[in-house]
Amino acid sequence: METVLSKPRLSKRILEMKESSTLKMAALSRALKAEGHNVISLSLGEPDFDTPEHIKVAAKQAIDDNFSHYTPVPGYLDLREAISHKFKRDNKVDYSPAQIVVSTGAKQTLANLMLCLLNEGDEVILPIPYWVSYEAQVILAGATVNSIPTSVDTDFKITAAQLEEAINENTKVFLFSSPCNPSGSVYLKEELEALADVLAKHPQIVVVADEIYEHINFTDGHFSIAQLPQLKDRVVTVNGLSKGFAMTGWRLGYMGAPLDIAKACSKMQGQFTSATCSITQRAAIVALGDNLEPTFKMKEAFKQRRALMIELLSDMPGVKINEPEGAFYIFPDFSAFVGKKAGDTVIESVDQLCMHILNTAHVALVAGAGFGNPECMRISYANSEENLREAMARMKKCLSELS
């Protein structure tokens, strides 16, 4: 006899949580590939390069040296010293090793932060487009998102006036990424100064700067908001190895934070994952050392691909683009195609268009709705030039067949 439960088995928390749209598209494209289709996946944001050799050597050595035990919860001290040095060297900010927590990817760093900073009723300001997991994590922590709109015409960047207008007495956190996932936008020093001047007037707000794409920045240089004196002791800088060092599977993220926040996140992590992998941590010390040559080479390759993507997308009527300044994403506006027909079916949203492109052209992208902008789609160009050309040719044909 079937047992009828009076309450759902699963928690409200998980039932109400949105699935990660980036991971969902990656899974859909893997499933289509498994059926034998030639799918080009420009959905998942991860470098297509291999981890640099000197980092792999360090990991192998760590295994041989028996780094096989639990590590301190916030990470090995010598790794936190290396990160402290990195923050000084690259970002000109001072975070002592006690202010650093290493986690299982920057995703966990962010989850720790949201769970440690937010109560019910608190608001987090997110400029649109934002990375998909920010929204899910804020909601999981019981808080709400207060988003600020932008568009392709303003390079997807907010102004100081927009920020000022969005702030209210419930605002607890301002969270943004620069270079931005999904738009590739980079906030320049003057723009960050203008935002910081506004934030300085509201001391209850903690600024969380996600700089995981720091090394994939095509402007004159990366500038960290934590450098600005008006925000002293209020900025958490999040970073990780996934993007700049092609180490997505190794799972290491970290943050520099005011001491009370660092201690809280370490306590939280102590109840969830204890710490990230010991071998990855040993390799991270080497990754964050002074040999950044492979990282610079990857950046150059991404820069060339960006030029290629701009050229190919500029040649597609109806697709509106800007010039992204970093990361390996471009976030074109496809709203001109909404209302067109594929055969007898009306394309009612960019979401639907994204699925149509996947199912007919076998090109996987991520619809913008998950990033807060339902008019755009994210294209990850962390792929070979050959695949990018083929994918864009297929997409162009697919779009031109809409009537």
Site residues (vs ligand GLU, CB under 6 A): 20, 22-23, 44-46, 107, 132-133, 181
CB of 47 to ligand GLU, least distance (A): 11
Dig out the tokens for 15 from the structure: 């039932």
Task: Choose, by CB under 6 A, the member of 47, 75, 105, 127 that binds ligand PMP.
Answer: 105
CB of 247 to ligand GLU, least distance (A): 13
Q: Which is nearer to ligand GLU, 115 or 200 (CB)?
A: 115
215 binds ligand PMP (CB under 6 A): no
CB of 34 to ligand PMP, least distance (A): 23
131 binds ligand PMP (CB under 6 A): yes
φ and ψ at residue 111, rounded to 5 degrees: -65, -45
Q: Tell me which of ligand GLU, ligand PMP, none is bound by residue 44, counting a contact when its beta carbon lies within the kind-specific cut-off of 5 to 8 angstroms.
A: ligand GLU
Q: How many CB atoms lie within 10 A of CB 226?
A: 25
User: Are the beta carbons of 94 and 223 closer than 8 angstroms?
Assistant: no
45 binds ligand PMP (CB under 6 A): yes
Q: Which is nearer to ligand PMP, 167 or 216 (CB)?
A: 216
CB of 9 to ligand GLU, least distance (A): 26
Q: Tell me which of ligand PMP, ligand GLU, none is bound by residue 20, counting a contact when its beta carbon lies within the kind-specific cut-off of 5 to 8 angstroms.
A: ligand GLU
Question: By CB under 6 A, what part of segment 159-178 binds ligand PMP?
Answer: 177
Q: Tell me which of ligand GLU, ligand PMP, none is bound by residue 23, counting a contact when its beta carbon lies within the kind-specific cut-off of 5 to 8 angstroms.
A: ligand GLU
Q: Tell me which of ligand GLU, ligand PMP, none is bound by residue 210, counting a contact when its beta carbon lies within the kind-specific cut-off of 5 to 8 angstroms.
A: ligand PMP
Q: Tell me which of ligand PMP, ligand GLU, none is bound by residue 390, counting a contact when its beta carbon lies within the kind-specific cut-off of 5 to 8 angstroms.
A: none
Q: Which is nearer to ligand GLU, 111 or 192 (CB)?
A: 111
In the complex, which residue's CB is closest to ligand PMP? 105
In the complex, which residue's CB is closest to ligand GLU? 45
Q: Which is nearer to ligand GLU, 181 or 266 (CB)?
A: 181
280 binds ligand PMP (CB under 6 A): no
Q: Which is nearer to ligand GLU, 46 or 90 (CB)?
A: 46
How far is 219 from 183, CA to CA, in rounded Å? 15
Q: Tell me which of ligand GLU, ligand PMP, none is bound by residue 177, counting a contact when its beta carbon lies within the kind-specific cut-off of 5 to 8 angstroms.
A: ligand PMP
Question: By CB under 6 A, what part of segment 234-253 binds ligand PMP?
Answer: 240, 242, 248, 253
For ligand PMP, the binding residues (CB under 6 A) are 45, 105-107, 131, 177, 181, 210, 212, 240, 242, 248, 253
